[in-house]
């Protein structure tokens, strides 16, 4: 553990299990005003909610085997449904609006993770896992010949940003929304695009290799308020500085899939890892979704 890691992440990290007994949890997202965590148990086909002092309750069942979740700037929940190959939004009355399900007449593969920028543009990844792995989806033929990254504009226009991934997975924007980061699970690296004011992407070169622990399979990807990039891997969550150098690893007892920041000060790192949800207090806050 180097000094940068201690200053940015913390010197004495305590990992606390706050919920367990799940099949495979993913997609944590913190609701700022409601003060609760939403996350997916993909094989159980459930969206779940956890709140301090209240524990876990079912938010939506069936969930379409939802994976990644986020909240838009209006506090509406967006979910990536593996089983239904679509991205949906939950409205105030509980109804679901399908935001994206097809590209140029073909079904999407299985939307996996999603972020929303300040202009309401939605970026999401679309690997094939929900069509090829029974644990996290429904086996069925793939209609598209690629695994891509997309941008969905507020007017409903869907744009393919990249189609040269092996399996795109986690993604995030930097605080200024100047760069989009996307990891490739099979490639074991993180790529970076430069975005213009309309959300058009240029670049896409490899920014960092995800190999801090030697056996990483990158999945969840997010950036904190100070610009430290975090990516899940084999042993936990790896931290990278602005140049893509690995600073260290937050070790988690189970194989780690994803994470988000929460609580009033945004300094609690909520981690979905296999059958459990963990909480880790860190030195630098994350960024609230809305």
Cα–Cα distances (Å) from 160 to 104, 190, 201, 276, in that order, read 10, 18, 10, 34
pTM: 0.97
Can you give the pLDDT at residue 25? 98
Under the banding of pLDDT at 50, 70 and 90, the label for residue 1 is low
Q: In the chain, what are the domains?
A: 3-281 (2.120.10.30)
Using only C-alpha atoms, the chain has a radius of gyration, in whole angstroms, of: 17
- Would you list the DSSP string of 42-69? TTTTEEEEEETTTEEEEEESS-SSEEEE
In this predicted structure, the answer to whether residue 215 has a pLDDT above a threshold of 90 is no
Q: Within 10 Å of residue 246's Cβ, how many Cβ atoms? A: 21
* Tokens standing for residue 185: 């699970």
Can you give the pLDDT at residue 2? 85
In this predicted structure, the answer to whether residue 198 has a pLDDT above a threshold of 90 is yes
């Amino acid at each position: 553990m180097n000094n940068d890691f201690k200053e940015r992440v913390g010197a004495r990290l305590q990992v606390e299990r706050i919920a367990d007994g799940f099949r495979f949890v993913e997609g944590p997202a913190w609701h700022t005003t409601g003060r609760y965590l939403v996350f997916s148990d993909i094989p159980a086909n459930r969206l779940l909610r956890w709140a301090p002092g209240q524990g876990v309750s079912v938010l939506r069942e069936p969930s379409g085997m939802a994976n990644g979740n986020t909240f838009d700037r209006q506090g509406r929940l967006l979910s990536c449904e593996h089983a239904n190959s679509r991205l949906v939004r939950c409205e105030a009355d509980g109804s679901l609006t399908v935001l994206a399900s097809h590209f140029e007449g073909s079904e999407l593969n299985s939307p996996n993770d999603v972020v929303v920028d300040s202009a309401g543009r939605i970026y999401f990844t679309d690997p094939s896992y929900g069509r090829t792995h029974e644990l996290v989806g429904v086996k069925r033929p793939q209609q598209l010949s690629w695994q891509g990254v997309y941008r969905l504009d507020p007017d409903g226009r869907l744009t393919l940003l990249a189609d040269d991934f092996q399996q795109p997975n986690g993604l995030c924007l930097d605080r200024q929304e100047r760069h989009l980061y996307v990891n490739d699970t099979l490639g074991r690296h993180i790529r970076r695009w430069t975005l213009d004011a309309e959300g058009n992407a240029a670049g896409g070169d490899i920014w960092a290799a995800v190999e801090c622990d030697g056996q990483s399979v990158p999945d969840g990807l997010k950036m904190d308020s100070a610009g430290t990039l975090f990516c899940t891997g084999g042993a936990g969550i790896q931290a990278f500085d602005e140049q893509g150098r690995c600073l260290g690893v937050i070790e988690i007892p189970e194989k780690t899939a994803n994470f988000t920041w929460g609580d009033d000060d945004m300094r609690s790192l909520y981690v979905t890892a296999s059958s459990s949800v963990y909480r880790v207090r860190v030195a630098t806050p994350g960024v609230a979704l809305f």
